[in-house]
Structure formats: structure tokens, C-alpha cells
Structure 1
């Protein structure tokens, strides 16, 4: 059975097959190429972030450990794009278990990304609003503990949210060729609160406070810049570095929120539109594309990251005696 707009996903299953949206061959090739390019770019850029922060010990700061955690989750998003490439034909053909695995990975990555953004907001809040106690309150070891708790909590949250789908894969699908999951009312409310409302509220409140302090400090520095002595120059430079980090990570957070909100509107309203609705497909890809933008923001704002990329790309990283001097130039 065929119509002018739809055809069956599995023609041999006349009574149980879903219908898929017909797309031209050129459209499928174009979408697949773009998704492959974005996936490769996302994985490559975030891999550079991971290598840079992991390899250079001078980058093992509390803030950079949070960036490292975010880069790992962004790298997983790049790999998740491979599933989106398989959906360009408009139907799911990998089976029910892989469908649940896809959604489970998607939920874990979303939870971790949101958690990382909250931790980054807390880090910047303490660094700017309570700078004297920042070195003792936010230590690398404490950050490692909080990041670990974030990843562990994401796994626990995922298991609880998808418990019925994990027990009975494909239980909620209406026909063959569709990939859907479903949760109860309590799960949907919990998802809305813990992934959207609570994190965004915390992020917005903290960053409003941060930027109020940043603006006041910037005005104070500008007013008294002529009176700064040589002895205080180091402190002023350190404060300027903290302010720049706040602005940079503020851009990361704002871009993340701009990509998260449309994505969550789609996933909360109609999850089954993922395969057949092109606008929903675009919004979901927009959220994933945020993971490609984060490393580009670091390149634009962080000179140390640009130098680290140069060292890695030119293989100077293999010369243990020279790379530190090059990095500090």
C-alpha cells in the first residue's frame, strides 16, 4: 500500500509496519553528509580538549576538570550522531533493544551535560563572589568527587526513568519501524523538574549574581587602574583571568540553554515525531550541535587551548622537554 507521500517501512509487514516519510535520494545524501561532518567535527574537537587538559598538568585546575567532564559528554554526543544518521530514511530498523539503548544514552548524556553546566555555574559563582575562599572550597579533589557523583547519578536516574522500557523493549511502540519510549506521569514530572526547571533556575540565578559582581568589579578596576601598583599587578591579573573565565563559561551556558529549551519542548510534547517530523529532527540535531560549539568557544576565548592544539597537531607533544616552553610562550 503506497500513497503519494508515505510508504511502508517494512513492505513485507503489511498489517504491522509503520509508514515513513518519502524523501529524495539527494536529500538523504545531503542530510547524511552533514550529520557525518558534524559528528566527526564534534568528536575531533572534544578529543583535542580532552587530550589538552589530561596531558598538560598545568591545566589540572578545578575549572578545567569541569570543562574536561563536559568535553567527555560532548564527545559522546558526537558518537550519538551516528544514530541520527541511521534515521535519515525516516524509520528505525535496529531493533527494540538498540532503541532503548539509544534513548538511555541520550538521557544519560543530557543529564550529565545539564549537571556539568550547574557545576560550572557554581564554580564561577564561588570564584567571583567569594574569591578568598575559592582555593579551599573548590579544590580539584572535590571537583572530581562532584563530577563522579554527577556521572553515577545519571546512570541511576536513567535506570529509574526507563525501568519499564528496559524490562520490556518495544512495549510502547504502535508499529514496526518506530523507536519510542514512554514513562508514567511521575517519571515525566521528575524528568521535567530535574533536567529542565531546577537546573535552569540554579544556572540563571547564579549567573545573574555572577555578572552583577563582574560588572561592578570591572567598573572598579577601570576606575582605579591608574592607581594599581606593580606589587598588585599579579592580583589584578589573576582577577582579570577569573573575570574572563566567567564571561567565557557564561557564553557556554547561554548557548547550551538556547539549544536545550527547543530540544526539550520537542521531547516533552511528541517523542514519536523523532522519525517523521523534519522540524523535530532539526531541533534535536541543534541540541547535539551544541557539543560541537563548546570547543570552538574555548578556541576563541582561551589562548592556552589554541597553543595546546598547535602542540598536539604538530606532534611537539611527543617532545617532553620542549612542549611546556612552547605552551608558555
Structure 2
């Protein structure tokens, strides 16, 4: 349709930006040693998911779906896995749950630092990442079963109460994770404010031979690093919420009986916002995440030493 041509062009551009930007994030985290932290492991997974999501989005935008499916198993697979957008929505769902895992990791590190030391292990990180991927695709398996191939056409089964399925999925893959993240970010904000108040302003002059100044400097440095990481992830969360909420709300209203024009400019804009989300995070990291900016300089030869305030060890609670 002619009115969807600008959307397809926009999705193509966002797909290309998402592929390049998220690929850069992955390379930086792999190549730069001081980026090998627990937090950055989840950021790497987020970039990997968004990279694949941008790739699938690009392919779905530039490769038209054929009017007639190929005969045999090929047509069935194409219908159930590609036409149904199982991979695309599975990756979008995995992105949500990885953002939730990343938020909870920061919550443990900041609010319960001693417990974090026990739980922040490589095994637990691998298990969390595996759960993210499994949840992303398991929660979207319904699309594989409600789509079927018949007479070389991809059709969708008629459900008796489709609104129950759609609303349930929106609650599971969007509203519950968003609510949990919102509550967690509010709590982290309060904890960081209390920590800053307890730390207080550094004294102008330290007693001769006292180690208090060095200790205070370390605590203040750690607090700054925590605040910077927290603010970066908060911006990522806000961007995700802004990009996804309008589309989720429109779909929910439609299945609750509200008339929705899916060819209207408003709806197409909400789809474009969803497409844009996959390429935003690299720009957020480049602008806001100090450790990532230092890693970029290191990778491209502008800074050859590990920065003093980087969180170089995976067990660091900051």
C-alpha cells in the first residue's frame, strides 16, 4: 500500500542503523578488557538481541512476502516462522526481558551489594541470559500454532476469544516487566540519594598522613560510576517505554472493542517508534555512558590505558 511506503523506508533505515550501532557495541565490549563486567555482559546481550532484531526488521522490510507460498514443508515453515513474524516478536520480547534482567542486576548491585557479590557469578549470568532468550521465544510460540499454510496461502486460525490471548500477552511481555522496572528504578533512585547524602561533601583539607581522603575518593568515585551507569540505563528504559507504549495501548484497545484504523498516520507512527527503538541504545551509550566512551577511545587508539575509574573486575559491585 502506498501509505505504508514511508514506513517501509523508515524501517529499512532503522534496520541499517540498528545493525551498525549494535554491532559496534558488541565489538567494543568484546575487544576492550575493562568492559568485561557483569553489567556489560547484559548490555552485550541487549546489543546482540537488538542487532538480530534490526536484521530481521530490515529483511522483512526489503523482502516482500510472496502472494503464494512454496509447496511442501518450505511453505509451512515460511508461513509459521516468517510470515507470522515469530522471530521478530521473539527478539522484541527477549529485548524486554533482557532489559528487565539488566535492571535487576543493577538493583542487586546498588541496593544489596554484599548479596550481589555472592550471586554475581559467571554461571548465574549465563543462566540469566539463557532465560532471557528462552522466555522471548516461548512466549511467542502461539504465533507458530495459529498460523497455517493452506492452498499455498498463509492463514491464521480464527480464535473464539482473541482478545484474551492478546491482552494476556501484553500483560506478560510488556506491562509486568515495565511495572517491575519502574518500581526498581524508583527504589534505586532513593537508595542513591541516601548514599550521596551519607557520603556528604568531601572536606577541603585532609589531615597529614591520613588515609581518609583516599577512602573518600574511592567511595565518591564508585558512587559516581554507579550513578552514571544507573542514569544511562534509566534513559534506555525511558526510551523503550516511550517507543513501545503507544503501539501496545492501541493493540490492546483494538482487541477490547475500540475501533482502530490500522492505515492511519497515528498507528503507522507508533509502528515506526517500535522500529526506532532497536537502534537508539548505541547512541544513548555513546552520549551518556562514560565507560563506553572511554572504551571507544581505547579501541580506536586514542587512549591506550585502562581508565582509573573503570569497573575493571566482574565482581565489582558498582
Alignment match, 1:49: 25
RMSD: 3.4
Of residues 169, 184, 189, the one that matches 1:211 is 189
- How far apart are residue 222 of structure 1 and its match? 3.6
Q: Is the 8 A contact 1:161 1:187 kept in 2?
A: no
Alignment match, 1:66: 42
Alignment match, 1:276: 263
The alpha-carbon distance between structure 1 residues 267 and 189, as it changes in their structure 2 partners (threshold 3 A), is: closer
- The TM-score, its normalising length taken from structure 1, stands at 0.75
- Runs (5+) with no aligned partner, structure 1: 1-19, 175-180, 317-322
- How far apart are residue 225 of structure 1 and its match? 5.6
Q: CA offsets, 1:127-152, max 9 Å, x none?
A: 11112332222233312211111102
| Structure 2 SS opposite 1:231 | helix
Alignment match, 2:118: 136
The alpha-carbon distance between structure 1 residues 134 and 94, as it changes in their structure 2 partners (threshold 3 A), is: farther
The alpha-carbon distance between structure 1 residues 173 and 189, as it changes in their structure 2 partners (threshold 3 A), is: closer
Q: CA offsets, 1:230-286, max 9 Å, x none?
A: 234223312321122111111111111111111212333459979733332221121
| Structure 2 SS opposite 1:158 | coil
Residue 294 of structure 1 pairs with residue 276 of structure 2: no
- The TM-score, its normalising length taken from structure 2, stands at 0.77
Which structure exhibits the higher relative contact order, with contacts defined as CA atoms closer than 8 Å and separated by 6 or more residues? Answer: 2
The alpha-carbon distance between structure 1 residues 264 and 94, as it changes in their structure 2 partners (threshold 3 A), is: farther
Residue 325 of structure 1 pairs with residue 304 of structure 2: yes
Residue 201 of structure 1 pairs with residue 179 of structure 2: yes
- How far apart are residue 306 of structure 1 and its match? 2.5
Alignment match, 1:164: 146
Q: Which one is further off, 292-301 or 263-272?
A: 263-272
Alignment match, 1:304: 291
- How far apart are residue 85 of structure 1 and its match? 3.3
- Runs (5+) with no aligned partner, structure 2: 70-77, 207-211, 309-318
Superposition pairs of residues 16-55 of structure 1, within 5 angstroms: 20=1, 22-23=2-3, 28=5, 33-55=9-31
The alpha-carbon distance between structure 1 residues 32 and 197, as it changes in their structure 2 partners (threshold 3 A), is: closer
Q: Is the 8 A contact 1:77 1:288 kept in 2?
A: no
Of residues 237, 242, 251, the one that matches 2:221 is 237
Q: Which one is further off, 113-122 or 260-269?
A: 260-269
- What is the alpha-carbon distance in structure 1 between the residues aligned to residue 122 and residue 42 of structure 2? 9
The alpha-carbon distance between structure 1 residues 156 and 264, as it changes in their structure 2 partners (threshold 3 A), is: same
